[in-house]
Amino acid sequence: EPEVTQTPSHQVTQMGQEVILRCVPISNHLYFYWYRQILGQKVEFLVSFYNNEISEKSEIFDDQFSVERPDGSNFTLKIRSTKLEDSAMYFCARFPRQVRDYTFGSGTRLTVV
Amino acid sequence: QKEVEQNSGPLSVPEGAIASLNCTYSDRGSQSFFWYRQYSGKSPELIMFIYSNGDKEDGRFTAQLNKASQYVSLLIRDSQPSDSATYLCAALGGSYIPTFGRGTSLIVHP
């Protein structure tokens, strides 16, 4: 069972709506990451977050996306105006102190209709 | 452009056989490598991590790394039907952001 819990596990939303995906990691994690995986495709990096700031982001992570750690523990990914092509599995990942512990959360399946 | 290449498969092996999964990477700066197992609709599960040339064994799994050839492999001994999944190879460079391959689908049939 992943140590990082994501909520919701599945979300269906209408095109143009805003969605917020949540990641609840165990404390003492240094880096957090968001990835997405379109069905049948590669796991793709979206953004990394260190010390409450964006560390790196990919070309996919455009102005429609934002990340926050609003209460110091939960870690959120917001998509402001969803498009059909945003339908994917979204994973957060944690990287505590050792590279070998790079593990993924339980995932959220986002379906945009 | 950093690329990690895997044969998409499916690779089909009988129960009890050795499954051999291969991965090549383009970035010579890659230092560490991961193998993840992913069941359909689930998140990737880390099964092996390797950073030194040679073999690393953990139970039924052996990861092999050859940095000169830019090649990583995963051997699964005594394959079980429960091993049927997609296996993702990932390469990690200095940015701590792994680059993933598309994965190889493994089917272990009784």
- d(CA A81, CA A71) in angstroms, rounded, equals 24
What pLDDT digit, counting tens, does each position of B55-102 carry?
Answer: 999 999 999 999 999 999 999 999 999 999 999 999 988 777 889 999
Distances in whole angstroms, Cα of residue A46 to Cα of each of A35, A103, B47, B98: 5, 16, 23, 11
- Taking phi over 0 as left and psi of -120 to 50 as alpha, with beta for the rest, B59 belongs to left
* Residue A23: HSE in the Cβ half-sphere, 13 Å Cα cutoff: 31
Give me the total of CB pairs closer than 8 Å, taking one residue from chain A and one from chain B. Answer: 50
What pLDDT digit, counting tens, does each position of A12-60 carry?
Answer: 999 999 999 999 876 666 678 999 999 999 999 999 988 778 999 999 9
Helix (H, G, I), strand (E, B) or coil at A101: helix
Which of chain A's residues have a Cβ under 8 Å away from the Cβ of B32? 99-100
- d(CA B24, CA A81) in angstroms, rounded, equals 37
φ, ψ at B83 (rounded to 5°): -80, -10
Q: Is A33 on the interface with B (CB under 8 A)?
A: yes
Helix (H, G, I), strand (E, B) or coil at A83: coil
Tell me the pairing of strands B11-14 and B104-109: parallel
Q: Is B48 on the interface with A (CB under 8 A)?
A: no
Closest residue by Cα to residue A60 from A36, A76, A82, A81: A36
